C-alpha cells in the first residue's frame, strides 16, 4: 500500500475540534475555578511514548492541564501495548481500579488507546467488562483523537474508532515533549517483517516512511528550542525510505541529520540485523555526531529458532555483522533483545543463544520470556520446555549477562567521558544523571543548572547497571 499523508484540510478539521474543546475548557475553568485536568499513562515501547507526546500536545492545545494523579483527573488516557501479555493485564487491572474512582466522580472520562485496542477481541472485552470506558481508539486513529474526544464528551455510550487506515501519516499533530535537551523523532511507522511471535505489524500496519524534509523541519525546530540530542525512531529504521521512491535510505538520512547545525548527538533504534548494510556501518563510523552505540536485536542464537521466528538471518550471518561492526567502530556499545522460551526451543537452542552472549559481550541486553500473542503464527506452536525450565534458563542467562555488564563497565574506571546531563535525583538535588556517547548511565555530584549541558566526568566506580563519577578537573 502506498504511503499517503493526512491532508492539511483533514488536519484542519481535527484541529477545529481542539478549538471547540479549548472553548469548553475555558468555560469549565471559569465555572469551577480550576482547569480541566488530564492524566496520561504509557505502556510499552518508545513508539508509544512518542504517540503519548502527540496526545499530550493535542490535549494542551485543547486547554487541558496535566496531573500525575489519576484520581484527580477529569480525563484519564491509557496508551497501551500489545507486545506482552503482562502489559495487557496491567491495563485491565488499572481499568478495574478506575471503575471505583469514577463511581465517586461521575464526570470523569476514561479513554484507552494504542496497540492493545487495535486488536478487536480486546476492544470487545473492554466494552463488555469495563463499561465505564468512554473512548477507545487504535493506533491509526491518533490524529482523529480531537473529534473522538469531543464526541465522547457529548455523546452517551462508548465512542470507538479502531479502523485500519494503514499507509497514512499525519504530520501536523502537535507534540508536547517532557525533556528539552533530547527528543525522539519518528522517521517511519509500522513493520513489514512479520516475525512470527510479534503482534506489531498487525496493530501498527505496514512500513511507511516520513518524507525527509518533514523530519529535517522537525529536527531544526527542536534545535531552535534547545534540543541537542536526537533519537531517530522506527520499528525497523533500516527499511527507511523503501516506500518513498526518492532514492534515499537510512544511512543517507543519518548524514542529513549529522549536517544540521546545533545537533550534537544522534541515536537511533531499532535496526533489523537482516537489513543492516555496510553503508550504514560506515556511516555510523564516519559521522561525528552519530553516537557509537548500536542496538541489534538477536532474539535467538539457534538457527532452527531464528527460522521459526521468520528472522531471515542465521547466527553465522549475525556474528559476521557484529565482527564487522567491532572492526570498523572499535569500542562501540552493543545492546540486544533476547526471547527465552520461544515455543519449540530446547535447552540446546537456549545454550546456542548463551554462546552468542558470551562471544559478543553486549553492554546490556533486554531479555524477555516469550509471551503468546493471539493471531500470530507462533501462538499455534507447541512448547518443548516446561515453564520451570524456561525460567531456569532465563535466570542463568541473566547471571551470565550481569557478569559481562559488570566487567564491561569496569573498563570505564579512570576514563573521562562526556555526558549529556538529563536528570536529577528526586531526593538529592545535587545528584545528577547523564549519559555517555555510548548510552551508559553516569551518576555524579553536580548542580541542577547542569541539566541539558555536556559535562566531562571522570569515572570513579563501575556498578552493574551504571557508572559513578566526578566532574573532571
Q: Nearer Cβ to ligand SF4, position 3 or 236?
A: 236
Residue reference for cell 472553548: 23
Percentages helix, strand, coil for the chain (3-state, rounded to 5) are: 40, 20, 35
Q: Nearer Cβ to ligand SF4, position 38 or 116?
A: 116
Q: Nearer Cβ to ligand SF4, position 130 or 272?
A: 272
Q: Nearer Cβ to ligand SF4, position 205 or 434?
A: 205
- The CA–CA distances, whole Å, from 92 to 114, 126, 246 equal 14, 8, 44
Chain center to CA of 360: 25
Residue/partner pairs of 383-389 with CB below 8 Å, 24 or more apart = 383/341, 383/343, 383/344, 384/343, 384/344, 384/345, 384/346, 385/341, 385/345, 385/346, 385/347, 385/350, 389/347
Please, which of residues 170-199 interact with ligand SF4 by CB under 6 A? 191, 193-195, 198
Q: Nearer Cβ to ligand SF4, position 109 or 142?
A: 142
DSSP 409-453: HHTTTT-EEEEEEEEE-SS-TTEEEEE-TT--EEEEE--GGGTT-
Say how many CA atoms lie within 13 Å of 11 toward its Cβ: 13
Q: Nearer Cβ to ligand SF4, position 299 or 409?
A: 299
Please report how close the Cβ of residue 234 comes to ligand SF4 at its closest, in angstroms: 10
Q: Nearer Cβ to ligand SF4, position 76 or 200?
A: 200
Among 54, 140, 208, 272, binds ligand SF4 (CB under 6 A): 272
Please report how close the Cβ of residue 45 comes to ligand SF4 at its closest, in angstroms: 9
DSSP structural state of residue 33: S
DSSP 244-274: TTSS--HHHHHHHHHTSTT--EEEEE---GG
Buried b (16+ CB within 10 A) or exposed e, 40-72: bebbbbebbbbbbbbbbbbbbbbbbeebeebee
Backbone phi, psi, residue 460, to 5°? -105, -25
Buried b (16+ CB within 10 A) or exposed e, 397-426: beeebeebbeebbeebeeeebbbbbbebee
Please report how close the Cβ of residue 207 comes to ligand SF4 at its closest, in angstroms: 9
Please report how close the Cβ of residue 393 comes to ligand SF4 at its closest, in angstroms: 20
Closest Cα to residue 362, out of 401, 316, 313, 315?
A: 401
Please report how close the Cβ of residue 113 comes to ligand SF4 at its closest, in angstroms: 19
Angle (CA) 471 230 181, round 5°: 50
Q: Nearer Cβ to ligand SF4, position 192 or 402?
A: 192
200 binding ligand SF4? (CB under 6 A)? yes
Q: Nearer Cβ to ligand SF4, position 83 or 159?
A: 83
DSSP 152-209: HHHSSS-EEE----TTEE--------S-SSEEEEE-EE--S---TT--HHHHH-S-EE
Q: Nearer Cβ to ligand SF4, position 40 or 238?
A: 238
45 binding ligand SF4? (CB under 6 A)? no
Please report how close the Cβ of residue 84 comes to ligand SF4 at its closest, in angstroms: 12
| Count of residues that interact with ligand SF4, criterion CB under 6 A | 10
Please report how close the Cβ of residue 121 comes to ligand SF4 at its closest, in angstroms: 19
Whether the CB-CB separation of 302 and 353 falls below 8 Å is answered with: yes
95 binding ligand SF4? (CB under 6 A)? no
Please report how close the Cβ of residue 194 comes to ligand SF4 at its closest, in angstroms: 6
Distance between CA atoms of residues 114 and 137, nearest Å: 7
Please, which of residues 407-466 interact with ligand SF4 by CB under 6 A? none
Residue 334 pairs in a beta bridge with 294
Please report how close the Cβ of residue 197 comes to ligand SF4 at its closest, in angstroms: 7
Q: Nearer Cβ to ligand SF4, position 36 or 204?
A: 204
- The CA–CA distances, whole Å, from 90 to 41, 44, 68, 69, 128 equal 11, 11, 18, 17, 18
Q: Nearer Cβ to ligand SF4, position 59 or 203?
A: 203
Please, which of residues 223-252 interact with ligand SF4 by CB under 6 A? 235-236
Please report how close the Cβ of residue 334 comes to ligand SF4 at its closest, in angstroms: 18
Please report how close the Cβ of residue 297 comes to ligand SF4 at its closest, in angstroms: 7
Binding mask 133-172 for ligand SF4 (x = CB under 6 A): ----------------------------------------
Distance between CA atoms of residues 132 and 102, nearest Å: 8
Please, which of residues 201-220 interact with ligand SF4 by CB under 6 A? 201
Please report how close the Cβ of residue 205 comes to ligand SF4 at its closest, in angstroms: 11
Backbone phi, psi, residue 399, to 5°? -60, -45
By the criterion CB under 6 A, which residues form the site for ligand SF4? 191, 193-195, 198, 200-201, 235-236, 272
Amino acid at each position: 500500500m502506498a504511503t499517503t499523508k493526512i491532508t492539511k484540510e483533514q488536519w484542519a478539521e481535527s484541529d477545529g475540534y481542539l478549538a471547540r474543546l479549548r472553548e469548553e475548557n475555558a468555560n469549565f475553568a471559569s465555572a469551577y475555578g480550576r482547569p480541566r485536568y488530564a492524566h496520561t499513562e504509557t505502556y510499552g515501547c518508545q513508539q508509544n511514548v512518542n504517540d503519548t507526546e502527540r496526545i499530550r500536545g493535542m490535549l494542551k492545545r485543547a486547554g487541558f492541564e496535566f496531573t500525575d494523579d489519576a484520581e484527580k483527573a477529569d480525563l484519564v488516557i491509557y496508551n497501551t501495548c500489545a507486545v506482552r501479555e503482562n502489559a495487557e493485564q496491567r491495563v485491565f487491572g488499572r481499568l478495574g481500579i478506575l471503575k471505583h474512582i469514577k463511581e465517586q466522580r461521575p464526570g470523569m472520562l476514561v479513554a484507552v488507546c494504542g496497540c492493545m485496542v487495535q486488536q478487536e477481541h480486546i476492544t470487545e472485552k473492554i466494552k463488555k467488562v469495563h463499561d465505564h470506558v468512554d473512548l477507545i481508539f487504535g493506533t491509526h486513529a491518533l490524529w482523529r483523537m480531537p473529534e473522538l474526544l469531543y464526541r465522547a464528551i457529548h455523546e452517551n455510550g462508548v465512542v470507538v474508532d479502531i479502523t485500519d487506515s494503514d499507509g497514512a501519516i499525519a504530520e501536523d499533530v502537535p507534540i508536547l515533549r517532557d525533556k528539552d535537551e533530547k527528543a525522539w523523532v519518528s522517521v517511519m511507522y509500522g513493520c513489514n517483517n512479520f516475525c512470527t511471535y510479534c503482534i506489531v505489524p498487525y496493530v501498527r500496519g505496514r512500513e511507511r516512511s516520513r518524507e525527509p524534509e518533514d523530519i529535517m523541519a522537525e529536527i531544526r525546530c527542536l534545535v531552535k528550542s534547545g534540543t541537542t540530542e536526537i533519537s531517530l525512531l522506527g520499528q525497523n529504521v533500516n527499511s527507511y525510505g523503501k516506500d518513498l521512491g526518492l532514492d534515499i535510505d537510512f544511512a543517507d538520512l543519518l548524514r542529513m541529520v549529522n549536517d544540521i547545525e546545533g545537533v550534537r548527538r544522534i541515536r537511533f533504534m531499532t535496526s533489523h540485523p537482516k537489513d543492516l548494510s555496510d553503508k550504514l556501518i560506515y556511516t555510523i563510523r564516519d559521522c561525528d555526531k552519530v553516537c557509537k552505540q548500536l542496538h541489534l536485536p538477536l532474539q535467538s542464537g539457534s538457527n532452527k529458532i531464528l527460522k521459526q521466528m521468520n528472522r531471515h538471518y542465521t547466527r553465522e550471518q549475525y556474528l559476521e555483522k557484529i565482527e564487522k561492526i567491532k572492526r570498523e567502530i572499535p569500542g562501540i556499545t552493543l545492546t540486544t533483545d533476547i526471547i527465552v522460551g520461544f515455543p519449540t526451543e530446547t535447552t540446546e537452542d537456549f545454550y546456542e543463544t548463551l554462546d552468542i552472549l558470551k562471544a559478543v559481550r553486549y553492554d546490556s541486553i533486554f531479555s524477555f520470556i516469550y509471551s503468546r500473542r493471539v493471531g500470530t503464527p507462533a501462538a499455534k506452536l507447541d512448547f518443548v520446555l516446561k515453564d520451570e525450565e524456561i525460567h531456569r534458563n532465563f535466570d542463568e542467562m541473566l547471571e551470565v549477562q550481569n557478569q559481562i555488564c559488570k566487567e564491561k563497565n569496569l573498563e570505564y574506571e579512570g576514563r573521562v567521558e562526556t555526558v549529556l546531563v538529563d536528570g536529577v535525583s528526586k531526593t538529592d538535588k545535587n545528584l545528577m544523571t547523564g549519559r555517555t556517547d555510548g548510552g551508559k548511565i553516569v551518576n555524579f555530584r553536580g548542580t541542577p543548572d547542569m541539566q541539558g549541558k555536556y559535562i566531562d566526568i571522570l569515572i570513579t566506580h563501575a556498578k552493574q547497571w551504571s557508572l559513578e563519577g566526578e566532574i573532571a578537573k
